[in-house]
Every structure is written in structure tokens, then in C-alpha cells.
Amino acid sequence: MRSDVIQTLLVANRGEIACRIFRTCRDLGITTVAVYSDADDGALHVREADLAVRLPGAAPADTYLRGDLVVAAALAAGADAVHPGYGFLSENAAFAAAVQDAGLVWVGPPVKAIELMASKTRAKGLMAGAGVPLLAPVDPATAGEDDLPLLLKAAAGGGGRGMRIVRELGSLPSELLAAAAEAASAFGDGEVFAEPYVERGRHVEVQVMADEHDTVWALGTRDCSLQRRHQKVIEEAPAPGLDDALRARLHEAATAAARAVGYRGAGTVEFLVSADGRPYFLEMNTRLQVEHPVTEAVFGLDLVALQLRVAEGGALGPTPPSPSGHAVEARLYAEDPARDWQPQTGALLALDVPDAPGLRLDTGYTGGDTIGVHYDPMLAKVIAHAPTRAEAVRLLARALERARIHGPVTNRELLVRSLRHPDFTAARLDTGFYDRHLAALTAPAAGRDPARAALAAALAAAVRTTASGGPVPTRFGAWRNVPSGPQVKRYRSEPDGAEHEVAHRTPRTGTPEPHDAPGVRVRSVTPDRVTLELDGVARHFTVTADGVRVYVDTDAASYTFTVLPRFTDPATHTEPGSLLAPMPGTVVRLAEGLATGAPVEAGQPLIWLEAMKMEHRILAPASGTLTALHAAPGHQVEVGALLAVVQEDPAAIPVPEETA
């Protein structure tokens, strides 16, 4: 029997997953090696590793996707094994072979298994032979109205790249071209296939673990239906609402899929479950999944430790442990869901999630780190485990609500509201959840009170100014019975842009108080904490100031403000119709025929930006003429960069009926 005892492990990845693997290695007494790009110099995964090797450059193609550099780094650091994590090279058969050719232990499945599952079209043919249920493919060249809607998918990749839903035959040719272009850019392979799109389908998957001694475990189910842009946001285990017969069928199909390719290690078999309960094979991910912690929580296992044991030639037990309770995971992203999920960058000042029984935080960031433009915008995963689903959901929602997250905009509020949405709490789940509910989930929430939060920020600022030796109430000569005039501060709420003006005064007691705010009584004020009695209820506000940004956290909400000057600088105004880059990124393509002087329609996509593994469309703000174009494919742009200018055509503005 083969036995390779791993002493030193290189993780060919970054961020959260590298930190998570290092945690298990520390428990097992294994020395850890990180690789890092120039953009990740000083990142958390580098700080936590025992050894680290630089990969010169910043872009993934020059660093984490360079298998030759990663293998060389492992040899240079004296590693005897490589773990790929997820993403990057984790499902690259050539990289797995190169690791083994270098005499290193590959902590992953056999090269042949990766090759067989690398192409979704080839994998579907293999699964059909193994008796796994499938959706029948559709030839786009002969597709008719009866075949709609269709789902176009990249054959060589995942993560939502190269994926399009087609509901009209007329749009099929253009969507095929767009999907193929995105697939070629993301995976180096432009092959795209089509299959029926299942309305209101659920994304359900089975975690498998296999060893080289012919043991295959099916470790329950996970539901990953809440997705944005075909990428998962909230996952849970077990998948709720499945009857025993369907669970058994999914387990049998997943086991058959693993055996069909001679699988070894951790993998995931993904299914689409229709509204009437019929399962269809989607793909097999030949790696660890982002959502693996919910399975670990329910089964009391460490899947990374099992991966290492199997890679060393060890055996699994004859049967897996019994599951217990329910687990839910939320992915915390630096992105703005209300603005087409735009990724956000900048300094992360604080990332503090409450520590409580049943809660787990997996992250690649701490306060003081910077969120850059080169990689996925996921900051952390927060996982809750409890005896029942309702308890786990409640625990997770409250933990996210109470977290202190200061810096770029995140999807935190969306996660809390999603977890508390009636459809989610009742387990009415499908992949169209955000298509139906996003507008409501990103609308101003009931119970939020930014005006009171801005008041707390102003009062704390007044005390902070006094404490730092700033202006204080002054008495000239004898006592004068003339009250001081109110001070006025202006704040802009982020990211909605609403402005709040706060008037306050500081009496002789030294404690500032609001001017003309009935129903409000100040109980205490310090530079970082304010307690106000609002209509008889005492509420606490924690205030953190960082330059012109102020963060106010309460027990049920968090607010971000920008301190505004008393007078607006005219130089900050931009020309009407200007299209500015909403984030740093790369211009990947322009609308066909786009040039200065071209007519454009309101809402027409003009420019496509790629940033943090996602494409973003820049739309025409109005119908009119393109009078300037400063973008071209391949250009790197910074946030706020001028991309184009559209001069609005007054004739295109609808005239009210009563005026016409």
C-alpha cells in the first residue's frame, strides 16, 4: 500500500481558502507554504503561512495560473505536497500531472478523473452511460420556439462565466457569440453548448469523498439555489424539503458519478432539481467547494484533513458519521447589489463578526487589509450551525447584522434581508430568487433611521473636536446669557447618496445636544459611543471616524457616511452625459460600430468592463449622440475615469400628454 506522509504542504491559492487549509495543517503538524502575487504582498494568507514564495506580477494569468511557477515554488520551499484549493488551477489536469511529475504529492483526484470531468459535454456523455439523469442537449442550429427558454453554458468552465439564458430565438445568435467570447476569455476554450433552462429549478449538490480502497461516501445534500449571476450567495445543508426517495436517488447518482471516473478525494456532484422534484446532472466539480463548511458542520468532519489522509494513501471508514442539525453559510462580498452587483475596492478598516457557539468565520482578510482589483470580491464566509434550520438561519442573520464591517460597500444587508425573507424562511428556494426579489431586498429597509445615525455621528464629532483641543465654547469677560448658535454638519449616506443635515449646540454642560429634535434626549456622548433616548427607548450608537468617512453601528443596522463640506466645489462637477468607470478594471469590448458621432439609445450597453472576475455593462444614460469615446479594448481604467460622453437628444425626451 502506498504511504506518502506529508510534512510540508504548498497551497496553490490565496485568500480565504489558503487560510482555511493552513488552519487544518497547523492542527496536523504540517508545515505550510504560501505563494503570493505582488498584489498580495502582506496578505493574510501570506502572514499565516510558515513559508512564502513570491510569484512576480499581479494578474492571475501571470501568477496563480502559472503552474510552472507554482511547482517551482513548491520545490524551492522544500514542500512535498501541493493542495490546489478551489478556482485557479484546482481543476487543471495538466497542473495536477506537473505536480506529480515533479515528485510531489497531489492533494486532489486522479488526473484522468479531472480530464474526464473537465468538459461538461464530455462529462454528460459519461454520466449518461452511468445511468445518471440528464437534461437532453439542444442543438442551437436547429432550436425552435418549443425549445425555449435555453441555457447556454461554457463547456470548459464554471462560476457563471459564459452562461446566458435565451428566451427569444432572435437573440440566440448574439448570445451564442457573447457566451463563446466570455468562455474563451475566462477558460481559453470558446466551446458553448445549450440545454433546456428549467424555470424555478433548485441547485442541489452532493458532497462525495472517496479513497483508493474503493470506498465512496455521499455526505448528504446542500442547497445552493440563492445565486447572483449564476454564482452562489447562500448555501445550506441538508437541502431542505427533499423527500427521502429523492435524497436517496441523489446519493446514488453522485456515488455512481464518482465511481464512473475512479474518483479519489473530495468532490461535488451538482444537480438541478425541477419544481416537480426531478433531478438532472449538471456537472462534477473535481475539487473542494467554497460551501464545504456547511457539510463539515453537519457531519462533524474536517474535509481538508480527509483530503490529506486520502492523498497519503489512507483509508476512509466504511461509512460516514451520522449528520446532526442544520448549517447555513453566507458569502460576504465587497460589492453593491443595488448597482448591478458592482465589485468594490479600497481599504477594509474593520471586519469583526461576533464570536458565539455555532458560528464560524472563514476569511482571507482582517481590518487594515486592502481589497484590490485583481481577484474575486469575496471577503469572508460566515457559517452558522444549530439543531434546526430555523435556529441556524436566525443565528446567522443576527451575526451578520451585528458585524462591524467598515470600508467598501458590501452585500451584508442583502444577506440579512435574504435570510429573513418569507420565501427563504419557508424554504421556497430556486435559482430565480434574486431575479424576483432583488429590487425589494435592496430598497430602503423599514426600521433604518439614517437621520438618527447622522445625529450620533455629529454629536460624537463635537466631543472629539473638543477632546482634541479644537474649538470650545468661549466666555469673554463676565457671564452672558446669550446662547451659542447651532453648529451644522452635513453627511452623505453611502451608497444611496442621501444627504442629512444635522444641527446641534454645545451648552455650558459640555455635552452636545441636538437642535430642534423633539423626542430625542442625549444620555451620554463620547468620541466613539453615543446613547440617545428616542421616544423613551435608549439606543446605543458606536461611531468610528476615518478621515471623511464615518461608520455608525447600532444593534440592528450599520450606516456609512461621508462628511460633506459646507460648500460644494464646482470643480467636482462633470459634463452631463459623462460615462464614468464605476470601478477599476479592463475594457474588454465595445458595442458593435461604437464610434464618436454614433447614435445611441437609452439603456443600450456601450462598454463592457471586466473587474474582479465579473463583466459589467456601461449603459447609455439617455438617447442621443456619442460625442466622445475614451475607451478601447484592453485599456486599464481607474474608478471615475471618463469612458465616453453621450449628448442627449431633446427630441427623444417623451413629452407629457398634458403638454403635447
Grid coordinates representing 659? 403638454
Single-letter code of the amino acid located at 102? A
3-state secondary structure of 580: strand
Q: Which residues pair with 8 in a beta bridge?
A: 31
The segment(s) of the chain belonging to CATH 3.40.50.20 are 8-107
The segment(s) of the chain belonging to CATH 3.30.470.20 are 203-442
* CA–CA separation, 508 and 2 (whole Å): 81
Single-letter code of the amino acid located at 159? G
CATH number of the domain at 203-442, please? 3.30.470.20
What is the third-level CATH fold of 136-196?
Dna Ligase; domain 1 (3.30.1490)
Closest C-alpha to 211, from 260, 265, 284, 261 = 265
10 Å CB burial of residue 352 (0-12, 13-18, 19+) is middle
3-state secondary structure of 538: strand
Architecture of domain 8-107: 3-Layer(aba) Sandwich (3.40)
Name the H helices within 261-352.
292-299, 303-311
* Cis-peptide into 196, omega within 30 deg: no
pLDDT of res. 476: 37
The β-bridge relationship of strands 605-611 and 585-590 is antiparallel
Helices and strands (DSSP H and E) totals, the chain: 15, 38
- Contact of 30 with 8, CB cutoff 8 Å: yes
What is the domain class of 574-652 according to CATH?
mainly beta
Architecture of domain 450-467+486-564: 2-Layer Sandwich (3.30)
Q: How far is CA 188 from the centre of its chain?
A: 24
pLDDT of res. 658: 37
Closest C-alpha to 86, from 341, 266, 313 = 266
pLDDT of res. 158: 65
Q: Please list the rounded mean pLDDT of every run of 10 residues in the chain (660 residues).
A: 81 98 98 98 97 96 97 98 96 97 98 91 84 87 90 76 87 89 76 88 97 97 95 97 96 95 97 93 94 98 98 97 98 95 94 97 97 93 98 98 97 98 98 96 90 97 76 40 72 92 88 89 96 95 96 96 76 73 83 90 88 78 91 82 88 44
DSSP 63-125: TTT-HHHHHHHHHHHT-SEEE--SSTTTT-HHHHHHHHHTTPEE-SS-HHHHHHHHSHHHHHH
Question: Quick one: DSSP state of residue 452?
Answer: H
- Residue 640: C-alpha distances to residues 199, 229, 580, 606, 637 (Å): 38, 24, 5, 17, 8
pLDDT of res. 482: 45
Name the H helices within 426-513.
433-442, 450-467
Question: Quick one: DSSP state of residue 339?
Answer: G
pLDDT of res. 423: 98
DSSP 22-78: HHHHHHHT-EEEEEEEGGGTT-HHHHHSSEEEEESSSSGGGTTT-HHHHHHHHHHHT
Residue 94: Cβ within 10 Å count: 12
pLDDT of res. 1: 41
Question: Quick one: DSSP state of residue 18?
Answer: H
10 Å CB burial of residue 144 (0-12, 13-18, 19+) is exposed
